[in-house]
Amino acid sequence: MKRFTLNSILILLLGMASVGCSNEGVEPEQPADACVLNNLVMLRVAFDGSYQASVAYNKFAVNGLNPSSGSLLGTVGTDHRLTFELPTNGSFYNKATGVHGMLISRAEAYLKFDVNTGVGQAYAVQTNFAAPALSNGNAYVIAVDQSYASSGVGEHYMINSFNMQNGTTGAALPIPVADRTFDNHSFFANESMSSTSNGVDKLYFLSGTNLITVNTATNTASHIDLYPSFSQANDWVAFYGVKYSQSLGLIALKRDANGFSLVKINPNTGTHTTLLAINAAINTEFYSAAYRECDKTYYLTSMSQSTPTVETSYYEFDLNSNTLVNTQVLTDYGFGIEVIQ
């Protein structure tokens, strides 16, 4: 009887200790890479040749996007002719202010939209600036010397501050001329330019096989040729849609004789590794890309046809498994995708 009583007391004490250590009512610790941006914004337009275009801003839940499940945030009207004037990947999203910006250099248009209020506006801008990128709360654009659009030795570009509210540009960063001078073997031009940032002090601009890294803290820059053996006739390669990843470095589309692939790039050395092949033809003029680090998903839109009807292909690539996990077809032109709150 005495032994039973001692055992019973011991069991009771252990049970009380267990209750005292319960996690009930305590918020579990969130992982450092918890996904906090859970929606995707996409601009959609009829692409019908009209000078009076109405651009719709649609919001979708990520991932597994379904074109019929989006909600309309608002529209922006513009008298800039957007048909055949929408090259490349010139959008950004400012998480702090909720501003989505879209710079369309060839159309001389900048579209600003506040995803929180649903209010936007179109502004007329200069054509020689492209590829806006955000770093430490500030926006920057690149201006390319178009006389070197194909190849050659020279001072190829400037980096200017960019006003996210109205699309105006400010003074150029005082980057030394020597940093901005290089011999590019492939094309280097505004309309093939994509950009990204580490969010703190590094901007990355990519055109052809040319990767430009700009340090906004020190006002210095460097150039790396990602494919030095490039040949216009025999060994043609180009990179598009560059995005920054904390874990992978830079991610981009690569186009070569074998087709398209997604690659990761070491921005310090220029070495690149294939992540997966893309079994589709990507329209490298009418496309847009976005990336979410927390689940390593790369998003891509590409106009798949313009006649007799317009169609845009949408893709989600899981870079944990290096697989295509979702593809959809939209019956209009979808572009300017960004991951938002």
Q: What is the 3-state secondary structure (H, E, C) of 13-49?
A: HHHHHHHHCCCCCCCCCCCCCCCCCCEEEEEEECCCC
pLDDT at 149 over 60: no
Q: Which residue has the higher pLDDT, 1 or 130?
A: 130
The mean-pLDDT minimum among 23-32, 126-135, 184-193 falls in: 23-32
pLDDT at 2 over 90: no
Q: What is the mean pLDDT of residues 2-6?
A: 41
What integer pLDDT is reported at residue 82 of this predicted model?
67
Categorize the per-residue pLDDT at 94 as very low, low, confident or very high, splitting at 50, 70 and 90.
Answer: very high
pLDDT at 101 over 70: yes
Helix, strand or coil, per DSSP, at residue 191: helix
What integer pLDDT is reported at residue 195 of this predicted model?
96
The answer to whether the CB of 338 falls within 8 A of the CB of 40 is yes
The mean-pLDDT minimum among 5-9, 76-80, 93-97, 218-222 falls in: 5-9
> How far apart (Å, rounded) are the C-alpha atoms in residues 14 and 6?
12
Task: Say what percent of the chain tops pLDDT 70.
Answer: 85
Categorize the per-residue pLDDT at 24 as very low, low, confident or very high, splitting at 50, 70 and 90.
Answer: very low
Task: Say what percent of the chain tops pLDDT 90.
Answer: 64
> How far apart (Å, rounded) are the C-alpha atoms in residues 71 and 225?
42
> How far apart (Å, rounded) are the C-alpha atoms in residues 230 and 208?
10
Radius of gyration of the chain (CA): 24
Measured distance between the N- and C-terminal CA atoms of the chain, rounded to whole angstroms: 65
Q: What is the mean pLDDT of residues 283-309?
A: 92
175, two tokens: 């980057």
> Of 89, 69, 199, 76, which is closest to residue 134 (Cα–Cα)?
199
pLDDT at 21 over 50: no
What integer pLDDT is reported at residue 83 of this predicted model?
61
Q: Which residue has the higher pLDDT, 230 or 17?
A: 230
What integer pLDDT is reported at residue 12 of this predicted model?
37
Q: What is the pTM of this model?
A: 0.87
Q: What is the mean pLDDT of residues 55-82?
A: 88
163, two tokens: 């006003």
Q: What is the mean pLDDT of residues 290-302?
A: 96
The mean-pLDDT minimum among 77-86, 157-166, 210-219 falls in: 77-86
pLDDT at 91 over 90: yes
Categorize the per-residue pLDDT at 312 as very low, low, confident or very high, splitting at 50, 70 and 90.
Answer: very high
Q: What is the mean pLDDT of the chain?
A: 86
What integer pLDDT is reported at residue 319 of this predicted model?
98
Measured CA to CA in angstroms, residue 26 lies from 30, 33, 213 at distances of 12, 20, 44
Categorize the per-residue pLDDT at 309 as very low, low, confident or very high, splitting at 50, 70 and 90.
Answer: confident
Q: Which uninterrupted H or E stretch holds 11?
A: helix 2-20
Angle at CA 81, nearest 5°, toward 186 and 208?
10
The answer to whether the CB of 272 falls within 8 A of the CB of 263 is yes
What integer pLDDT is reported at residue 7 of this predicted model?
44
Angle at CA 121, nearest 5°, toward 242 and 75?
85
What integer pLDDT is reported at residue 147 of this predicted model?
52
Categorize the per-residue pLDDT at 150 as very low, low, confident or very high, splitting at 50, 70 and 90.
Answer: low
Categorize the per-residue pLDDT at 273 as very low, low, confident or very high, splitting at 50, 70 and 90.
Answer: very high
